[in-house]
Structure 1
């Protein structure tokens, strides 16, 4: 459990911001990770766990605490719940895209559409990461969780994590603390054994993104290659030579709003209902029927709306930046706030606030940041 020489968090995060921490420790095994976290928590000092650093926006001031660098790795194969499935227990520090590549090589389906997402496996359930219709919640079985309050390590089923759209009980949302402060030590997924052959793709969102008809059959490897190419065109695959990838991915979440509010937005704004419309059925026992049928109860449905569309139609184009600022919107899509080269956290925060203000002024909706903010405010 070696203590290492601290480096600025700007060198450990994909947005390339953040000051120097007081202390840094690398944990290379699960036992080391558990021990160091218990020791740090016992001191009561500030702490920050960093895996791939792809979902962090850190302020410019020094971090007066300990940064725990999660460097664990490894995949253990376990029996699945059915003969055509397999479970993989993966260490928290394992690179997410390396895991996806491994599953495709093994002919295991369930996370191939999430190819190219940066970060580590332990962070995936916290954010309930997803892409093109696949989300971690669809394959997650359980996690090993180290609880900050008790220091206890336990196995927690996915159903207890409150997994929703880019959220869980473990996530520290902007302006609030996590419902359950804890750190994931390992993750167990259940995937389907489909092999290397071609098969039709069930998800309409994935088919649409890849230009596939409902009956077109493709292999897992074909999906991975084309998802990576699609993400690369959007600047969403990390590249040291491309400033469009120097970001935290999508900086703002697609907004979840009521169906009534969604109807106030322009019809052209992309919208995705989160639940199907169901005609209400009223059952009245014949003996109790008095000739009057009560009016149906209106169901309150929620709708996901495109933050990128809202930003663009609030007058902010791709590549927008303030004069002399080193922060700007990606030149490939407006959801990414990018560091164009040695931008400070203050410059990025200034741009983020301006985006929020423009969208709120135009559409009456305040976009919420997706990354975890540390020592910085919007």
Structure 2
């Protein structure tokens, strides 16, 4: 398709859309405009595919017909495919790795090691019950390939968490935590603004964009997708599968009645807390970390499945609205951990992530 034909088609479609939309009721314009834009893109792509490609020799006048008129030059149809240039499997593995990391911070793996040692040394009075068998099977299910150091390296590569030295040449997502906190804050702010808008307008039907920023969520989500895809290559997928199976085996073992009875516990979380306090120098933030693990995995899975190309506000709203409470849950839990005590709040975090002044955030 030549440059002149492309421009004529675009002008025609622009005039056609104005005439059609002018005769349509306002409540139907949004959906119809979306359909017309999709149809225009389809026509331009089809016309470009059927046209002969322009050769460089023709453009500079070395072809058999000499230099062509400018309007006759074939126009390429460029497609933006950056948002799809990631491997979803790696992104889902990053979500599972985040879930595993939070359990690492809860000392679940260390507790399992302590129980195995007590079981071998005869310092825990269990013998033929399901807990004893679970500990025996737990040792047989110990990861064959990915030991604690491999987990620490995976956390460092994907999230830049931990103090272990990264291997030379490995790609590290050094800015993960800042961007993830900003992304969660943007979702929470979007959810808050929708709630405020409903109160102000006195209705749950929102026909126009309220105060929240769709572009901020999409920009931060796209960055997370791209950087996580770059840093989770290699053994991350296999590691999350193997360690995830081991984590499930550990949690099932801690739920057995004779192990709980040995520590006078009601749940596996009581076992983790008591073993941590007795043998590991103190318990971790179990309540907060468990909520962060669940909410963080949901949010990262959303990032993995969403290319963030939706421009229609109503479609975007339907996608992100269920994640508003999830983002608030993560923030509420994060603020109660030692790592999150420096969290200044949703609005200051967003302003800083967008490069805006933070000294006026208190009045917003």
TM-score range normalised by the length of the shorter chain:
under 0.3
What is the TM-score with the length of structure 2 in the denominator?
0.18
More strand by share: 1
Relative contact order higher in (CA < 8 Å, ≥ 6 apart)? 2
Q: If each structure's helix is expressed as a fraction of its own residues, which one has the higher value?
A: 2
